[in-house]
Chains A and B, each alone.
Chain A
Amino acid sequence: MTTNQNALITLSASEAAEGLRNGDFTSEQLTQAHLDRIETTEGTAVDAEDRSLGKTGLNAFLHVNAEQALDDARQVDADRAAGKQLPPLAGVPIAVKDLIVTTGQPTTAASRMLEGWMSPYDATVVQKIREARLPILGKTNLDEFAMGSSTEHSAFGCTRNPWDLDRIPGGSGGGSAAAVSAFQAPLALGTDTGGSIRQPASVTGSVGVKPTYGSVSRYGVIAMASSLDQVGPVTRTVRDAAALHEVIGGYDARDSTSINEPAGPYLAEAEKGATEGGLKGLKIGVVKELTGDGFQSGVSQRFQESLELLRAAGAEIVEVSTPHFDHALGAYYLIMASEVSSNLAKYDGVRFGLRKLPEEGPVTIERVMSATRAAGFGPEAKRRIILGTYALSAGYYDAYYGSAQKVRTLVQRDFTNAFEQVDVLVSPTSPTTAFKLGEKTDDPVSMYLNDIATIPTNLAGVPAISVPAGLAPENGLPVGVQFMAPVKEDARLYRVGAGLEAALQQQWGGGLLDQLPDTESLIAARTQGSAK
């Protein structure tokens, strides 16, 4: 516990913002401290010639935007010195999942298809964080086009879990979660289609929120499955997530699925939940179908302890049943893959990105497109494109895509019924703690099962948060608890999440990440180990 304890990088975003306001340090110093941490924890390229092998360290970043971030930080410092009115998080740096387009630095979606592509426009959420004056540290690693639960499907090497470098950091947003939990960034943006914010948060001991569908703009977020995708905060505290959600949320005229209502307030709800008796009167439903069999024992144990703490904090805990969740995984994979097959059609080597000529035979556009897509997409992207093509094709549509859409209705009804009985629902975020790198890459179905608890919310559009619940006794790895709220009731998540967080931190005497092993030592040990 030495280098992790640098005073500036362990601050939460809210504490850092406070320090900046008080003049305790500058944004340039704060940003530099994080860039230094990135430098010492990312590791070096395994093979300078072959990016697909990743790095010796965390490999949470695909691109580090040091100069621009420092420029932006200095500008914030200058404006603050000049007495200008600044937004609350001004000067606190942030990392952005590389699925979200940015001008001035590359966006790859962790795919060879987009290597070297420079977006001529900023995503709406990027515009918002620029307006909020958050320096962007860089772009974080992910499974290619956000398809995966482990970051192993990145074309540029997997990200490593800072708790154990031989384990997955979750996916698809493993880069953002690893960056935040390993103190490379106090804040990050993620995207969540079936759990890509929450599951990585769960297995890295960080906080992740999937907001209500339509409450954060998707404009400029490279589409995986349009009816499921949502951008959200990745942070170390519930309070920070609430603050970041207020920055990125709200109506965007460019997104037809955007809800035309103001975002928040969330921060006030988080503060309310963290105060003594803040959960009084709150009725919490334990989802019967998302407990018990199939959940690792340490996960279940920490989950049960969390329920006790919630009860102690004044909440009423009841069990509710959502009978159709059993079909949710199938429906999710069919709908997601169908949309993927269409959304990824634009990557064809005509307007941007990779173009690959066929190795033999005539060079027609048809064959160039097929060769490009064969070379540009990794195996998981291809699997999902083929699955989606199948689910939508003539003769199969009704049985697969059509049925899945009807199951989607049933899952929504389950949520509606449940929320007639309780204010929020709760379950473990992920059935297991972080699994080993390579453990599930040859078994797509078992990888998909990891999403069992997170996907129902995406199907229904409801918001959910994952909050660290401690370490599993059997392996010392983080466990997450997920709360789910009705559509547009994201505020409830911050209240209950902050309530649980406060109770747990009181027990732990600090944040869970205070227990994170020293990253630099882990990297050094691993590098020496493999050198032998």
Chain B
Amino acid sequence: MSDEILSFDEAMAKYDPVLGFEVHVELNTKTKMFDDAPNAFGDEPNTNITPVSLGLPGVLPKVNGTAVESAIKLGLALGCDIAPVSHFARKNYFYPDTPKNFQTSQYDEPIAENGSVDIELEDGTQFTVEIERAHMEEDAGKLSHKGGAGRIQGAEYSLVDYNRSGVPLIEIVTRPIRGAGERAPELAKAYVKAIREIVKNLGISDARMERGNVRCDANVSLSPKGSETLGTRTETKNVNSMRAVERAVRYEICRHAAVLDAGEQIVQETRHWHEDTRETTSGRPKSDADDYRYFPEPDLVPVVTNAEWIERLRAELPEPPAERRRRLQADWGYSDEEFRDVVNAGVMTEIEETIAAGASASVARKWWMGEISRLAKVREIDPGDLGASPETVVELDGLIQEGKINDKIARQVLEHVVDGEGTPGEVVEKRGLAVVSDEGELSSAVDDALASMPDVAEKIRGGKVQAAGAVVGQVMKATRGQADAARVRELILEKLGVEG
């Protein structure tokens, strides 16, 4: 069977996609789910571990109370019912990144069930995704494959780092999502974005996809157009950016359609997304090895909730994102279109913080939607991850207001700031990027320019004030853009005795 794919339009003409997502969110607790090793990213391998994280003989797990509260908060934010009694269970399977060769998870009694998330697509279309459950579990360690191409296939051996083993996870599982039609890939992206926004807003996860804080497994199946019959589904793993989720879903839809069109069967299997080739490849088929033999974790006792506890946590919940958006748009006075652009660019929180740091709503928007977004796009990262802080924007704007730099220089300063050269003030200082404000120097530059273009000077004297632009250009060129253009224009007119 080939990996031929059908075009998306052809696929959509014949089939209705049904989606489903399992999103894993790593919590930002200080310690792991079941032991007091640090939950930290990027440390030396096998240093954030205790005997418990290594699953040494004799150890016992102990639940992180903060992680449970995070799970309840997330459940509440997703509109779920919080279980009065919920149990941990063991999911048994052998894999070297799993120290006990079982994952402690939840099975038939998860902490939260039956919720929904309202999703807004980029054009403002609303969609409701139903949540089946959210449950607590632990992350696995990290494998790196050596030899071959560093991939699991063909590797000579692998190294295991258990720092991540036991990091608290919440897995959010949707019910099957039907009716998205051709918007399915877009919906996939918007769903992950919404979950990311919710957990970030709750403060329970750093939600950095590039670090694997939010990971998505996307289930795709196709039904013949108009039919209720569910097709065989595949589960695509390792989809770790919002863009990738959209692409992977689109790819799988096209691939399924081609397989079905050829009269063949979809194999129920796990597939892996490859960002480089933008394809999925076959993982292992579902088999007997998926008999996980779940049973109640005997080393842990149930989590029992009560109304008082749940209501206390509910009271701690921040404003829900949708309400917050309505409030912010009204406060900032942005048009619907402007605000949607801001939301889609993912810079709403940044703008909010920039305004809080002292910038006006329009200045904040100008920067975050303008130069910062442009630079982020060039560098293929999210604007929020570029390294421009609200304080950077406020300081840049202040420098412009004071006349120390102009817009053009400010854009250069920003680039140096995000490259880590310091604050805007420091960059201006170090690189000598300030506007030339020495009147003597400016004056002689204007004299030189006028002398070099006598015919233009004559035109201006004759009343064609707009011709001054050419002289300004000449002066700016001579000062390598560091002159204040408005002041240069004033000087030209002054020298030629013309009213501006």
Query: Which chain B residue shows the least CB distance to A123?
Result: B58
Task: Tell whether B79 is near chain A: CB-to-CB under 8 Å.
Answer: no
Task: Tell whether B85 is near chain A: CB-to-CB under 8 Å.
Answer: no
- Chain B, residues 54-81, CB within 8 Å of chain A (1/0): the string is 1111111111000000000000000000
Q: Which of A369-388 contact B (CB under 8 A)?
A: 369
A342 near B54: Cβ-Cβ < 8 Å: no
A254 near B60: Cβ-Cβ < 8 Å: yes
A-B contact count (CB 8 A): 98
Chain B residue contacts of A117, Cβ below 8 A: 57
A351 near B55: Cβ-Cβ < 8 Å: yes
Contact of B94 among A107, A114, A345, A393 (CB under 8 A): A345
B298 near A346: Cβ-Cβ < 8 Å: no
Shortest Cβ gap from B148 to chain A (Å): 13
Query: Which chain A residue shows the least CB distance to B299?
Result: A226
Complex-state Cα separation, A272 to B475, whole angstroms: 107
Complex-state Cα separation, A218 to B58, whole angstroms: 8
B56 near A369: Cβ-Cβ < 8 Å: no
Task: Tell whether B412 is near chain A: CB-to-CB under 8 Å.
Answer: no
Task: Tell whether A447 is near chain B: CB-to-CB under 8 Å.
Answer: no
Task: Tell whether A69 is near chain B: CB-to-CB under 8 Å.
Answer: no
B295 near A114: Cβ-Cβ < 8 Å: no
A107, A227, A254, A401: residue with the most chain B Cβ atoms closer than 10 Å: A254
Chain A residue contacts of B294, Cβ below 8 A: 392
A342 near B90: Cβ-Cβ < 8 Å: yes
Task: Tell whether B99 is near chain A: CB-to-CB under 8 Å.
Answer: yes
Of the four ranges (under 10, 10 to 19, 20 to 34, 35 or more), the interface on chain B belongs to 20 to 34
Shortest Cβ gap from A372 to chain B (Å): 11
B298 near A119: Cβ-Cβ < 8 Å: no
B92 near A345: Cβ-Cβ < 8 Å: yes
Chain A residue contacts of B420, Cβ below 8 A: none
A120 near B101: Cβ-Cβ < 8 Å: no
Task: Tell whether B8 is near chain A: CB-to-CB under 8 Å.
Answer: no
Shortest Cβ gap from A296 to chain B (Å): 34
Contact of A256 among B57, B102, B301 (CB under 8 A): B301
B92 near A121: Cβ-Cβ < 8 Å: no
Task: Tell whether A255 is near chain B: CB-to-CB under 8 Å.
Answer: yes
B61 near A346: Cβ-Cβ < 8 Å: no
Shortest Cβ gap from B108 to chain A (Å): 11
Q: Which of A186-226 contact B (CB under 8 A)?
A: 218-223, 225-226
Shortest Cβ gap from B93 to chain A (Å): 9
Task: Tell whether B384 is near chain A: CB-to-CB under 8 Å.
Answer: no
Given A256-B300, A342-B102, A366-B94, verify A119-B295 contact (CB < 8 Å). no
Contact of A352 among B56, B298, B301 (CB under 8 A): B56
Task: Tell whether B379 is near chain A: CB-to-CB under 8 Å.
Answer: no
A-B contact pairs, 28 of them (CB 8 A): A101-B56, A109-B57, A119-B51, A119-B58, A121-B51, A121-B56, A218-B60, A219-B59, A223-B299, A225-B298, A256-B60, A257-B299, A257-B301, A339-B295, A341-B293, A345-B100, A345-B101, A346-B55, A346-B99, A346-B101, A351-B54, A351-B99, A352-B54, A365-B158, A366-B94, A392-B293, A393-B291, A401-B295
In order of increasing CB-CB distance, the 4 nearest A-B pairs are: A345-B101, A392-B293, A226-B298, A227-B298
**Interface on A for B, CB 8 Å cutoff?**
100-101, 107, 109, 114, 117, 119-121, 123, 218-223, 225-227, 253-257, 338-339, 341-342, 345-346, 348, 350-352, 365-366, 369, 389, 392-394, 397, 401
